[in-house]
């Protein structure tokens, strides 16, 4: 049986999603809980790997198992064995046996929450990025518009990126403000390693007046990481989740999406 699950997690206490020998990753904790609940080893495939400190709202995973459980049992039963900052949100038995959490995704979404304040965050430490200079929303939106569409995003790609091609389609960037907080929303076919954090570094540079909006087009055209701003902090970055053809019946919303300002 193929099972698909939605997972939410706070990334501060983990060295990213992908399993590591030291075991301090989200995948390691999740697979240990799944294996304990199912009483058999379980290995998972996720929709998109996240880095150290990056949070997940609706990370989608799938796995195959011979263990027979009701859908709600995969939620409540597995959560019993998970730490407080990781929780299964839903479970689905895909009708299509070929459903694949990564390969079946039509796109992926990220959100970045940034506090604009003269004083560093405390309550929201790790849950929000921070800038102490005022940001110009119109300038950021003008620069972001230059990234929409299919481009070679080599300028926003980390040296460790394993993607076969730097060409991706960025479908949308929305920028909103609520009080002292800025929320950036990214929608793309797929993302390169550190792509969102590197774009954020450039948007903050434009928003703070260090660079003009038109500079973003120069960064894209350069196809060189050296042309872009430094990588922005992981604090405040959320993998909102992937989305699929409706026929798969995969939920694209969880409660935490309403919590995030």
Q: Please identify every residue annotated as catalytic.
A: 51
Strands 55-64 and 2-9: antiparallel
Count of all residues that appear for the chain in the document: 261
Q: Helix (H, G, I), strand (E, B), or coil: what is residue 60?
A: strand
Residues whose CB falls within 8 Å of the CB of residue 5, separated by 6 or more in sequence, listed in order: 60, 61, 62, 74, 75, 78, 88, 89, 90, 91, 92
Q: Rounded to 10 degrees, what is the CA torsion of 192, 256, 114, 224? A: 0
According to DSSP, residue 247 is labeled G
Q: Check if the beta carbon of residue 112 is closer than 8 Å to that of residue 183.
A: yes
d(CA 198, CA 181): 19
User: Which of 253, 241, 234, 122 has the alpha carbon at shortest distance from 188?
Assistant: 241
């Amino acid at each position: 049986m193929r099972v698909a699950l939605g997972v939410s997690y706070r990334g501060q206490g983990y060295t990213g999603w992908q399993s590591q020998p030291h075991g301090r990753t989200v995948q390691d904790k999740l697979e240990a809980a799944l294996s304990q609940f199912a009483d058999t080893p379980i290995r998972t495939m996720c929709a998109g790997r996240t880095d150290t400190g990056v949070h997940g709202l609706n990370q989608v995973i799938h796995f195959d198992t011979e263990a027979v459980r009701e859908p709600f049992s995969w939620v409540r039963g597995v959560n019993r064995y998970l730490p407080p900052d990781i929780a299964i949100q839903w479970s689905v038995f895909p009708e299509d046996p070929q459903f694949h959490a990564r390969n079946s995704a039509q796109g992926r979404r990220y959100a970045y929450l940034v506090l604009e304040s003269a004083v560093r965050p405390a309550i929201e430490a790790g849950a929000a990025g921070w800038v102490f200079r005022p940001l110009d929303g119109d300038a950021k939106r003008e620069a972001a518009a230059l990234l929409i569409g299919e481009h070679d995003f080599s300028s926003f790609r980390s040296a460790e990126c394993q993607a076969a091609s730097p060409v991706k389609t960025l479908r949308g960037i929305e920028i909103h403000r609520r009080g002292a907080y800025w929320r950036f929303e990214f929608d793309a076919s797929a993302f390169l390693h550190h792509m969102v954090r590197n774009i954020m570094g450039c948007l903050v540079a434009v928003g703070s007046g260090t660079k003009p909006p038109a500079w973003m087009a120069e960064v894209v055209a350069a196809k060189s990481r050296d042309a872009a701003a430094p990588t922005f902090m992981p604090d405040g970055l959320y993998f909102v989740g992937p989305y699929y053809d409706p026929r798969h019946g995969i939920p694209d919303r969880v409660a935490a999406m309403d919590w995030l300002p």
